[in-house]
Structure 1
Amino acid sequence: MTKETMASLAAELETCGKALLKIAETLGVKEEPAAEPPKKEPAPKKLILEDVRKVAADKSRQGFTEDVRNLIHHYGADKLSSLDAAKYDAFLKDLEVMGHAG
């Protein structure tokens, strides 16, 4: 292929590209902005014994010492430090409602 042929083909491609852009503008086709990636919610904080101990101590100070002790036994432990960490969420929920009239 000669240089003239290549130049002619390149010019035709440019003309074709411009024509396609004009058609797109006429039809109202607009480039849509890239969608934002979905925002990830932060993973819930994993509870540790100290988190649970704070709430249990607060309930004890409010006069629910015996109820806290019974709840610990209900969850299969003899003391708070021996409570299974997998049960912290449920135990904490039970602690939080303790003392509320139901």
Structure 2
Amino acid sequence: MSKTKLAFDVVTDLRNLAGSIETLVIALESNQTDSAVPVEKEQPKKNKEPKKTAQPPKDKLPSLEDVRSKLAALSQDGKQLQVKELITGFGAKKLSDIPAEKYSDLLVEAGKL
């Protein structure tokens, strides 16, 4: 592997890492607002009705991590330019600029690459 290819791989990995850190920060911020709900109010709901999380809903949107991992795999397979064109085709400069509602469409298009 050439030094240029290795350097490009490092840049790609750093970009993916930056996106993952951004996603983590967003998740942590949303958890902070969720934790503002008093614990006493959450416990009765858990005791009255068991959770039904064994099967995720079929209409559930893919997460940013799902999309990012698919696009990262494509990038590592040498399709960095196609991935970038795919993102810009959705009117964004970076993956995190794409609305979550379009993630399913993005994954469909990514599957065609």
TM-score, normalization: structure 2? 0.48
The sequence identity of aligned pairs, in percent, is 38
SS in 1 for 2:102: helix
The Cα shift of 1:43 comes to: 1.9
Residue among 74, 77, 86 paired with 2:89: 74
Name 2:57's counterpart in structure 1.
43
Residue among 49, 69, 92 paired with 2:107: 92
Question: Which segments of 5 or more consecutive residues in structure 2 lack a partner in the other structure?
Answer: 1-54
Name 2:67's counterpart in structure 1.
52
Indicate conservation of the 8 Å contact 2:87/2:93, yes or no. yes
Question: Which segments of 5 or more consecutive residues in structure 1 lack a partner in the other structure?
Answer: 1-40
Larger Rg: 1
Q: Which has the higher contact order (CA 8 A, sep 6+)?
A: 2
RMSD: 1.5
Over 2 Å off, 4+ runs: none
Indicate conservation of the 8 Å contact 2:61/2:100, yes or no. no
TM-score, normalization: structure 1? 0.53
The Cα shift of 1:42 comes to: 5.5
